[in-house]
Chain A
Amino acid sequence: MIKVEGLTKRYARTVAVDNISFEVEKGQIVGFLGPNGAGKTTTMRVLTCFLPPSSGTANVAGFDVLENPMEVKKRIGYLPETPPLYPEMEVDEYLHFVGKLKGIPSGEIRRRVDEVTGRCAIGDVRKKLIGKLSKGYRQRVGLAQAIIHNPDVLILDEPTSGLDPKQIIEIREMLKSLAGEHTIILSTHILSEVEHSCERVIIISQGKLVAIDSVTNLTNRLRGSEAVAVEVEPADGHPSPVEVQQRLEQVSGVSRVVMKDSKNGRINFEVESLQGRSVRADLARSVVQSGWNLSELRAVGLSLEDIFLQLTAAEQKEETKQKEEVKVEEGVKQ
């Protein structure tokens, strides 16, 4: 349904998207994951024909974004990062306008507007001015706008950003209900978002593709390695924080210990474990056996940055391993 090959987009100074290739099958719901400034919005803007690519091609439903933008636009529904709303319009009026803009025959518009207002649960604000709506409602009107012409492809740029947890859950439910009929790409910089809504995930960082995988594979790759917040209260003020840190580092399965801060005799650490190792029990034992007080021990999620580090580190390790193997083989030949 979507096919991107060697896509590069340069702005005056920056290369926002650097030689990205991927494909999305019909009916899939794909997460576009990356930290801020990774190039997610830029890629989506190329797919929606808002920006032309600097090089490479992008194909939607068999049409090229440069050669056949009209056909692409007809088949895409797009919700930009800030929903494109006119505050002076009523919700109904706005949806009628967008419907006509997307080329829905005038006889069908009424029915389409009824349908999307039902789907996006905005039936109770149809006669309200958009400027007076809350953030959650605006986002839903934005979503309604994107699906009004029943497009093959839905492109949603950070659809849940800035919403409160209840609203996020509502939007997720809506996305799930849309998944069967449409091919969906949604971008986010939050890992759990992808876990909740997507089947596949495309990870980019600084304009480059880091990984494409199914969500189950990805979580398997990452599962097991955990980050733990530890707070230690050494008895009588001695030993020093450095000593504690060294003791923690000695616990088997620990890959990294970072001291966060220390005040009132309490020292906070963040401990990361190796993949597939659970270290909480060992950490606790080690602290207690040293005669210190353990005032807190709590699992914290890995941040997106940590995940990128892990993914890229894993790939680098594999690469160096392969290189070493090649060297060994060469050595054998000699």
Chain B
Amino acid sequence: MKNVLLICRKELNSYFASPIAYLLMAFFGLIFGFGFYTATRDMVRFSFMAQMQGQMQPQNVNDAIIKPLLGFASTVALFLIPMITMRTFAEEKRTGTIELLMTSPVRDIDIILGKWLGAMLLYLCVLAMSMINIAMLFAWGKPDLKPVLVAYLGLILQGGCLLAIGTFISTTTRNQIVAGGVTFFVCLLLWLLSWFTAFDSSATGSVVNYLSIVTHFENFSKGVIDSKDAVFYLSMIFFCLFLTHRAFESLRWRA
């Protein structure tokens, strides 16, 4: 555990020593802010019109703003993931520092968990940028807290999955651009799959739908924790980290 934290801290330090961490946070903050602006503007306009027509039913902030906005955030995050994971192992393989890690008295699994945890923490920092806007809603309105927390939980779980996939892909190459490109492609594919299978009720459609990481976010965004989704995400993270471990071992055999 000590070693996991050691590697994790080293990862975080190197993320924040380069512009990449700040760029990702700024980029996500801007995009999310823009989404927030359009969503609130539309809502204000809409409820103004509703009032003019004499319908006094107030609109729900959760449904009108927070839910679509966090759904949007999950899509944006999908495309930031490759930039977080691409260098994890590929860069260490290229510069040879992997030789230091692999000849030190730490277990392979500690290295992998440390790397993944570091990526996870950076991802949390990026997500945190969205909280500025969400906090404004809490300051001015009275949205329900619980669905917001559930949606964030979904974002974290989905991110954990994709980060594990990206980490795995990064162990298979020494070129971080290739690692990032392939991860981006996989994320894109998952995103497209969730669109195609949304209207497909055949057996294969539902299997693909089940495996598509994005569709499991649906329930979370509605504020519902379905244990099926949570189990899916957790086992997916476990499986991908297991794959990473195997790939790591085969590094030794092929080197």
Chain B: minimal CB distance from A52 (Å): 6
B105 at the interface (CB under 8 A from A): yes
Q: A50–B17 Cα gap in the complex (Å)?
A: 28
Residue from the list A50, A82, A103 in contact with B102, Cβ < 8 A: A50
Number of interface residues of A (CB under 8 A): 28
Nearest Cβ on chain B to A275's Cβ, whole angstroms = 41
Complex Cα–Cα for A126 and B100 (A): 20
**In residues 58-75 of chain A, which contact B (Cβ within 8 Å)?**
70, 73-74
Bound: A74/B107 CA distance, A? 12
Partner of A51 from the list B18, B98, B252 (CB cut-off 8 Å) is: B252
Q: Are A84 and B255 in contact (CB under 8 A)?
A: no
B252 touching A50 by the CB < 8 A rule?
Answer: yes
0/1 per residue, B196-212, Cβ < 8 Å to A? 00000000000000000
CB-based nearest A residue for B110: A101
Instruction: Determine if B95 and A84 form an interchain contact, defined as CB atoms under 8 angstroms apart.
Output: yes
A17-25, A30-38, A85-93, A206-214 - interface stretch: A85-93
B14 within 8 A of A: yes
Give the size of the chain B interface in residues (CB under 8 angstroms).
24
Known: A88-B14, A97-B6. A73 touches B253 (CB 8 A): no
Which residues in A have their C-beta under 8 angstroms from that of B2? 100
Q: Does B104 contact A (CB under 8 A)?
A: yes
Partner of B103, one of A49, A86, A89, A100: A49
B10, CB-defined interface residue at 8 Å: yes
Task: Point out the residues of chain B lying under 8 angstroms from A45, CB to CB.
Answer: 99, 255
* B105 and A88 within 8 A (CB): no
Residues in B whose Cβ lies below 8 Å from that of A76: 103
Give A contacts to B, CB under 8 Å.
12, 45, 48-52, 70, 73-74, 76, 78, 80-82, 84-86, 88-89, 93, 97-98, 100-103, 145
17 A–B contacts from the bound complex (CB under 8 Å): A48-B103, A49-B102, A49-B103, A50-B102, A52-B252, A70-B105, A73-B103, A73-B105, A78-B103, A84-B99, A85-B97, A86-B97, A100-B2, A100-B6, A101-B100, A101-B106, A102-B104
